[in-house]
Structures are given as C-alpha cells and as structure tokens.
Amino acid sequence: MIYLDNNATTKLDPAVFEAMRPFLTDSYANPSSPYSFARQAALAIEKAREQVALLVGATPAEIHFTSGGTESNNAALESAAREDRPVIATAVEHASVRSTALRFAKRTGKGRLWPVQADGHPASDFALPRGSCAAVMWANNETGVLNDIPSLAREVHAQEGLLHVDAVQAAGKVAINLASAGVDTAALSAHKLHGPKGIGALFVRKGLRFNALLAGGDQEQGFRAGTENVAGIVGFGLAAELAGRQLGELTGRIRALRDQLEAELLSRVSGLVIAGAAAPRLPNTSMLVIPGAETEAVLALLDMDGICVSSGSACAAGAHEPSHVLRAMGLPVGPRVATIRTSLSRFTTAEDVAALVERLPVALQRAAG
C-alpha cells in the first residue's frame, strides 16, 4: 500500500503507541483522584502539555486538551460568539470552522465569510467588522497554502478583534509560534502529526476571557470538562515532541520529494494546475487540478493500484461535493475536473512518489477514455 493522504490522517508512530500503552493497561487511574496511583497519570498529562506547548510556541498553561481539532475550533468560536462578537471565517476554512461560523451568522445575523484571492490568501480589501472574531487557518488542508498569521493578527487587533487560528495542519509540518504571532485562540490535533485520533488541544492566550463549551468538572483548568483521555494526551505529547525534532525532515527531504512529484507530473500531464502554487505552502501537500477526467474514477483506479490519495478534505470527499476551497480560489471545479490531493509524511519514500508519478498519468488517461 502506498499511503499519500497524510493531511487526512497519519500513521501512528510506533514509539507513540508504546508511550500510550501503560495508560491503556496498568496505569488506568483517573488523574483527578486523590491517591498516589493517580499521580502518575496527572504527571503524564502535565509532561504532555509541556511537549505540545513547546511545539507551537505556547506556555503549558495556555494548552487545554480536547477531543480534537473539530472540538477546539467549535469551542473557540462559541466562546467568541457568547461575547457577542461577529464570527468571520475565511471561505477556505475546514468544515469545523466554516459551518460553525455560518451557523452563528444565521443565528445572530452577524458574521459572514471572508473571501479569498486566487492564491488562497484572505482578500486584502475585505472590511473586517470591528470587534469580530476572525478565523484564519495557518495552513489549508486541501492546498497547503500558508497564511501570514503575524500580519493578520495585527490587522485583526487593529479592529479590536480576536484571531482564532486553525493550526491543525501547520503544527508539526512548519515551525509555528502562537505567542509571537499574536494568536488569541488556536486549534491543534494529534492525528495529523503521527499521534492518536480523538485527541487535540485548544490554545487560549494567557489572560483572554474564555467561555467553556462543555459544562461539567473542573478538568483542564476549567477550560474543558470531562475525564481526560490520558493515553491520548500522552501520545499527543510524544508525537508533538517527535514532530518538533523532525521538522527538518519535512522541510528538507519531504519538500524535495513533493517538488519532484510536482515537476514530474507537470511534465507528463497536460493541463495540470497546482492549486495555490503561487503562495507559500506546506512542504508535504499538492492539490492537483486536472481538467478532462472525473475525480471519483481517478481515485478508484489509483486505489486498484494500492495508492491512497484523496480529492481534498475527507468530509468533502464523503459528500462528493466539489471543493469549497478550490471554488473560493476561482479554480475550475465540476464533474469533468479531477482534483487529486497528495500529502506526504516523514514515512513517505521516494518509491511511493515514483509509483504515483507512474500510475497517475495512466489513471487519468483511462478515466478520460
């Protein structure tokens, strides 16, 4: 099997699994319990908090564990909406941000989408309403386009707004520093960086007033109620540490492999456009837009060759809807335009990429025929 869909999810690092194992077996105490058996779990959570904080340029007290990126995005936007702030999300956000923003807009009559330019960046002539909560992702999951978060933070703060950043795809793939970038709230997810699924984190800048989404116990400093997923948290912590140590691998070997993949396909596939190529992008992502064939047919043919790639975000793929990201960027989307996303990881080999370069032109030809 050739797995080139790492923006959907990643392989669990075997070392991460080993670190989680004791907390799925012998060390099962509730970390809030008062005896020393529970202290091991409580200490493990605090260590993971430090590991995650270090990866993203935060202090441990600013990191609160959640069930994943979706919950973190919902929690941050809900908190801002409860303060009566209009929620403005860019048109290319992940569904967990975009749908939430649209739901608030419908409910309150305030808030709307922030259009993007052809390169995928938020439109520079957009008039941000005063006091809004602007949601801008650090890296786009479909195209890999990276936003200039420090400059967007200045722009939002000049309008007395808050900046929420979905950093799910950026963390562990490029160096990010939430504090120095001026981010107010941010979402992170472990399974995008070789950690387990169902665990993520919400960053809340120190001193920011926050309205918790869930009512319940006092876990996570009152920011997120519910007994902690200790094994998941421990796995996230180690995955974050390993991702930080191996950032150079992503920006070196993997970027070179990705660039080679794009160069070879551009020379073999006529009409191929790489979405967002004019902007800085994640080192692992390519969104290939190819007129003349149907996405589903191409994906099915590649699947028969044992190659796992997708049409974009996993949710959009399930719904068979044309990508809202490509549409917002003004790229052609429709039944006879194939949109194929490849996303590499530190486990990707040159042989994996060579197989795609060989098989994709064949699949396109057969699908077109």
From 29, 179, 308, 315, active-site residue: 315
If the CB atoms of residues 73 and 90 are measured against ligand PLP, the closer one turns out to be: 73
Smallest separation (angstroms) from ligand PLP to the CB of 69 = 3
Closer to ligand PLP at the Cβ: 75 or 272?
75
User: Closest separation between CB of residue 197 and ligand PLP, Å?
Assistant: 7
DSSP classification of residue 236: H
Whether 308 sits among the annotated catalytic residues: the reply is no
Instruction: Determine the interface stretch with ligand PLP among 166-174, 288-296, 330-338, 357-365 (rule: CB under 6 A).
Output: 166-174
SS3 state at 87: strand
Min CB(302)–ligand PLP separation in Å = 20
Cβ neighbors of 277 (< 8 A, separation 6 or more) are 262
On whether the CB atoms of residues 350 and 289 are closer than 8 A, the answer is no
Contact between residue 313 and residue 326 where contact means Cβ atoms under 8 Å apart: no
User: Which of the 8 DSSP states describes residue 61?
Assistant: G
User: Which residues, 6+ apart, have CB-to-CB distance to 219 below 8 Å?
Assistant: 32, 225, 226, 227, 228
> Who contacts 132 (Cβ-Cβ below 8 Å, separation ≥6)?
85, 86, 87, 88, 111, 156, 159, 161, 162
Q: Which pair of structure tokens corresponds to residue 120? A: 């995928």
Which part of the chain contacts ligand PLP (CB under 6 A), choosing from 64-72, 154-162, 226-234, 294-302? Answer: 64-72
Token digits of residue 180: 């120095």
Greatest CA span in the chain, whole angstroms?
68
Closest contact distance (angstroms) between CB of 358 and ligand PLP is: 28
- Binding of ligand PLP by 169 (CB under 6 A): yes
Among 172, 200, 237, 276, binds ligand PLP (CB under 6 A): 200
Q: What spatial distance separates the first Cα and last Cα of the chain, rounded to whole Å?
A: 26
* 211 contact partners, CB below 8 Å, separation of at least 6: 78, 79, 82, 83
Is the Cβ of residue 116 or residue 272 nearer to ligand PLP in the bound state?
Answer: 116
Would you say 165 or 338 has its CB closer to ligand PLP?
A: 165
Least separation, in Å, of the C-beta of 359 and ligand PLP? 25
Residue closer to ligand PLP, measured from CB, 96 or 348: 96
Listed ranges 31-39, 68-76, 272-280, 288-296: which one lies at the site for ligand PLP (CB under 6 A): 68-76
Give the footprint of ligand PLP on residues 115-154 (CB under 6 A).
137, 141
Q: What angle do CA 116, 120, 124 make, to 5 degrees?
A: 45
Q: Which of residues 321-360 bind ligand PLP (CB under 6 A)?
A: none
Contact in structure between 302 and 367 (CB atoms under 8 Å): no
The Cβ of residue 301 has, within 10 Å, a number of other Cβ atoms equal to 19
**70 binds ligand PLP per the rule CB under 6 A:** yes
Output the smallest distance, CB 77 to ligand PLP, in A. 12
* 63/272 with CB nearer ligand PLP: 63
* Calpha distance 45→290 (Å, rounded): 46
Give the total of residues touching ligand PLP (CB under 6 A).
14
Q: Indicate the residue among 69 and 111 with the shorter CB distance to ligand PLP.
A: 69
* Residue written as token pair 């439109």: 123
DSSP 251: I
Asked if 189 touches ligand PLP (CB under 6 A), the answer is yes
Instruction: List the one residue from 4, 53, 168, 329 that touches ligand PLP (CB under 6 A).
Output: 168
Q: Which helix (H) or strand (E) holds 49?
A: helix 36-56
Q: Which residue is nearest to ligand PLP (CB)?
A: 69
Q: Which of 69, 172, 196, 283 binds ligand PLP (CB under 6 A)?
A: 69
Contact call for residues 186 and 203 (beta carbons, < 8 A): yes
Question: Footprint of ligand PLP on this chain (CB under 6 A)?
Answer: 68-70, 73, 94, 96, 137, 141, 166, 168-169, 189, 200, 313
Catalytic site positions:
315
